[in-house]
Structure 1
């Protein structure tokens, strides 16, 4: 028998719970899930948070009304020493635990009264500024994360094309996924897309740009699954096609690959013709990167970093680049920009040459 204690001061009389501790914990998790659903958080976010709380419960072997800051220190100390989690992961876990504790200790939900009557104690907040990681800077990516150089990027694309040709020549059925992944890498770079944005691409998302008719029907890409703000729907944006080779890549894939995998609208479908999983591209990407002896700091997101960096290096206006990648603030775009030393040298040389030219052309003052 499951009894829902949410919103009531105490359990009904004459009802004895078989395992009150476990049932109360489950009711707490169910109530917290409903609270997050009412805030319009994604199902994936809610599920990940519940897994973190379940993991903390299993590690401590204590119920929420018995948690203490010492257990928090022990849990996260173990994560760092044995699992080597990154600071961003650590802070995400701690934020989740803090949110859960805030929910169960809020008098408005009645859990403090229920726990006091059943167990003689009640849950409290156990995450504080002095025992959790702080967010001290806007960018916390590891120092190895960077953009591709243009030479590295070309070698990755060539490796992906060679793999497709090799498999096709041996008449193996895996050539279509290899072909798809080759297109994925190029399109992710061509439009500066995130992984989730790439996998949701559909053929109907492309339109013409009347100011660039030479690009045909692939002049503008309408992103419908952009990164959402907290509790909001996916953010939309339009991305202009800037590389003249992009329509050719898309047209070749449409003609030779996509129609063999699906008859739907998915541009880059799975082998079953459905929406491809977000992690489907990673194994092949890492294998190509390692075979080319490229830096392990180059990940799939580096394609997006490269898009920003290369456009800035090629002289595109910073505000244009910011709008292309969908950043709210220019400072965020600046974090993605890792211009090469050659670009900085050329910039310095241009400024110095202009300064000297202005000095030589400056008229002498009249007496």
Structure 2
């Protein structure tokens, strides 16, 4: 059980104990009559898990490398072709899941944001018309704060291949369904997380990738990591991810060793060049 789940259970029990132990509701008198004793609060700060830092995820979780992502997406496409060529049912579901995996990475989406996308949630970006009508993805079911409605945001398209994947899915995969849902299930409802997660785990096993540490959220981690490695402004990545604070985006900065080595080498070379320039200038 994760730390956040344990804390949520303890919080629920704490609220219930506060309710039954409150004399204003009269349960203490009822319990005295029936059991000869009364309820009391037993959950305190010193004996329950606390929320002391923003990130509570497991340290084993990580993003995909670019090579791993390419292998995954290629394998997902091959699976669609194999099922269709065999004449069996299921090619459309495999195609849908392949596009969902790509879109989760392409826009850095959480699963709940992904499953709620509809065909009307895309618009043209006047500053990037090369993406056509898929220049902006309007996320309407973003992660909310406690007791608040979903937090909407707009995510700008950054990858050249995104629009083509969506156009092909709408034209050849999704078909002429009456539903506005971009990724409807076989029964017309919304996809559940376990459906896509099973598909992902099977593909990882077939590719021989260690599934420990990789999940659907790893696609979102990969999105932030790869943008930062490519030199995108951290502030822009923060807005794309829907993070209120830059420190939250910093959690996703799983930059590779190669990237860090290159950055360090560049900085050292720049410092050396400046030092040599000053030295030669002083000699002159």
Q: Same fold (TM over 0.5)?
A: yes
1:267 to 182, 189, 206: 182
C-alpha separation in 2, matches of 1:364 and 1:110: 86
C-alpha separation in 2, matches of 1:206 and 1:236: 13
Say which is worse superposed, 278-287 or 155-164, in terms of deviation. Answer: 278-287
Larger of the two Rg values belongs to structure? 1
- Matching residue of 2:147: 231
1:103 to 9, 16, 19: 19
Say which is worse superposed, 235-244 or 327-336, in terms of deviation. Answer: 327-336
- Matching residue of 1:241: 157
What is the 5 A alignment of 1:1-367?
A: 85-259=1-175, 262-295=177-210, 296-362=212-278, 364=281
The CA RMSD measured in Å over matched residues stands at 1.8
C-alpha separation in 1, matches of 2:23 and 2:149: 30
1:105 is displaced (CA, Å) by 1.9
C-alpha separation in 2, matches of 1:190 and 1:157: 12
Aligned length: 282
> Once the two structures are superposed, what CA deviation does each residue of 1:91-131 show, in whole Å capped at 9, x if it has no partner?
22222211211222233433334333444322211112333
TM-score by length of 1: 0.73
Change (3 A) 1:204 1:149: same
C-alpha separation in 1, matches of 2:114 and 2:47: 38
Say which is worse superposed, 135-144 or 156-165, in terms of deviation. Answer: 135-144
C-alpha separation in 1, matches of 2:157 and 2:237: 12
C-alpha separation in 2, matches of 1:366 and 1:227: 60
**Structure 1 stretches of 5 or more lacking a match?**
1-84
C-alpha separation in 2, matches of 1:108 and 1:288: 56
Greater relative CO (CA pairs within 8 A, separation 6+): 2
> Once the two structures are superposed, what CA deviation does each residue of 1:179-220 show, in whole Å capped at 9, x if it has no partner?
000000000000000010110010100001000011100000
1:307 is displaced (CA, Å) by 0.3
